[in-house]
Structure 1
Amino acid sequence: MSRILCVDDEPAILRLLTVVLAVDGHEVSHAHNARDAIVLLERGGIDAVLLDLGLPDRDGLELLGAIRSIAPLPIVVVSARNDVREKVTALDLGATDYVTKPFDGDELRARLRAALRNREVAPVADVVEFGPVRLEIDHHRALVHDQPVTLTPKEFALLRALTEGRGRVLTHAALLEQVWGKAHRDDVEYLRVAVRALRLKVESDPSQPMLIRNEPGIGYRLGGGAT
């Protein structure tokens, strides 16, 4: 069981979140504004945060940064703001995931579970396994179903970046900067080409990818989420 802080100024939403999270046995704390959220976070004992962006006393994006400075907690934004730029900004500021209101309870629970798992994952080891893929960092080698596959340096770096961000949505800009450098933060086509090539090598069915998943207009995640 985890203790989840839900930050939202709508009592009805807080009640709904409490019911949804109770299915997985979570203990839920409420904050109706940024001030109360900071007080609860500074007391400690919080395992993850569900954060609305439309708060009465402080913009949620600003609060997101403040939470990051207090503790490295998973933060799932739950907001009616559906603009892709808002989502990208939140993720670039350190949000683990982004769910749009009105939300499906099962999807929210799944994304929160992924966020909590990501918190428990140790720093990337020399060998990482996910699904049928085995990534040997030191040897710069990848295997799928125990068979070696040849990856270009950029494909390997991209797969490693996705592995290090397991459970999170990684924005186009973040992946481009990490793999290609800051000068290529806007070269999304570089990323799309590399993802297509990587899927052909590691996915059982590249037309229906299950490992490298797309968040349209935002970025990619390793497993889970949208196709």
Structure 2
Amino acid sequence: MDYRVLLVEDDERIRQALELSLGDEGFDVVEAASGEEALYRLDNDVFDVVLLDLTLPGVDGLAVCKALRSRADLRIIIVTARTGTADVIAGLEAGADDYVTKPLVASELAARIRALLRRRRTDLQNAVYRVGDLEIRPDEGVARRAGADLRLTKTEFRLLAELAIAEGRIVTREQLLRRVWGYDYYGDTRLLDVHIRRLRCKIERDPDSPEVLITVRGTGYRVDRNS
């Protein structure tokens, strides 16, 4: 199937180049030159992933990212020329699933998009994992806390599911990056750090003193099944 990509970029030359190259990679690309246009298109069409430049006229990329995240459970990849830690983290905190930096290589960008869209397959049928008052059903994509559905992004859910499936065993940072994002991040774990923090805000009573999602310093993470 052809995945639909909303490309939000104010530079016309970059838009045209990416539309052609991603089209050659099999993606159906729709362009938006501003944040306002992106929000309009989202109201009137359906997309699988959004490529979002952070530097936009009018409504900036971070504001657009927050608006997109609040409207729909989209997969969002921010595109930025800003490589500083603060800028990347700000984009991830705004709700992005992933980020890429300019200049872009179309084949690598396509691989990143496919990795984000690809769901991890398991042979678990109707499996239910319980961690404290959390109930996780990986095959259904459902997570509940005390019987109430949790509003998680697809990435947050996959992260929680991977940890729940481990049933208290340590999952290393490298394993989580590979299993959840499906891509080699060459040691850049900012992506994981931000998503762990966002997930804790949704599942912990006190995110600053986590009882469910435990850090194993220098190694990775595990869930405390008795929390």
TM bucket (normalised to shorter chain) is 0.5 to 0.7
CA distance in 2, matches of 1:64, 1:136: 27
Q: Please report how far the alpha carbon of residue 100 of structure 1 lies from its aligned counterpart in structure 2 after TM superposition.
A: 0.4
Does the alignment pair 1:27 with 2:28? yes
Q: How does 1:110-189 map to 2 (within 5 A)?
A: 110-118=111-119, 124-125=138-139, 137=164, 140=167, 153=168, 155-156=170-171, 165-167=180-182, 170-175=191-196, 178=200, 182-183=207-208
Structure 2 counterpart of 1:193: 218
Q: Please report how far the alpha carbon of residue 22 of structure 1 lies from its aligned counterpart in structure 2 after TM superposition.
A: 1.2
- Code of the residue aligned with 2:96 in structure 1: it is A
Structure 2: segments with no counterpart, 5+ residues: 125-136, 141-161, 184-189, 223-227
Q: Please report how far the alpha carbon of residue 41 of structure 1 lies from its aligned counterpart in structure 2 after TM superposition.
A: 0.4
Greater displacement, 112-121 / 70-79? 112-121
Q: Please report how far the alpha carbon of residue 48 of structure 1 lies from its aligned counterpart in structure 2 after TM superposition.
A: 1.0
CA distance in 2, matches of 1:24, 1:182: 41
- Code of the residue aligned with 1:193 in structure 2: it is G
CA distance in 1, matches of 2:138, 2:208: 26
CA distance in 2, matches of 1:160, 1:80: 28
Cα 1:89–1:3 change in 2 (3 A) is same
Q: TM-score with structure 2 length normalisation?
A: 0.62
CA distance in 2, matches of 1:50, 1:61: 12
Greater displacement, 154-163 / 31-40? 154-163
Structure 1 counterpart of 2:97: 96
- Code of the residue aligned with 1:124 in structure 2: it is P
Structure 2 counterpart of 1:87: 88
- Code of the residue aligned with 1:110 in structure 2: it is A
Cα 1:32–1:160 change in 2 (3 A) is same
- Code of the residue aligned with 1:171 in structure 2: it is L
Counterpart secondary structure, 1:56 = coil
- 8 Å contact 2:50–2:77 — kept in the other structure? yes
Q: Please report how far the alpha carbon of residue 184 of structure 1 lies from its aligned counterpart in structure 2 after TM superposition.
A: 6.0
- Code of the residue aligned with 2:62 in structure 1: it is L
Counterpart secondary structure, 1:45 = coil
Structure 2 counterpart of 1:71: 72
Q: Please report how far the alpha carbon of residue 82 of structure 1 lies from its aligned counterpart in structure 2 after TM superposition.
A: 1.3
Aligned-residue identity in percent: 31
Q: Please report how far the alpha carbon of residue 124 of structure 1 lies from its aligned counterpart in structure 2 after TM superposition.
A: 2.2
- 8 Å contact 2:5–2:48 — kept in the other structure? yes
Cα 1:136–1:91 change in 2 (3 A) is closer
- 8 Å contact 2:76–2:98 — kept in the other structure? yes
Q: Please report how far the alpha carbon of residue 70 of structure 1 lies from its aligned counterpart in structure 2 after TM superposition.
A: 1.7
Task: Give the RMSD, CA atoms, in angstroms.
Answer: 3.8
Structure 2 counterpart of 1:8: 9
Structure 1: segments with no counterpart, 5+ residues: 127-134, 141-152, 199-227
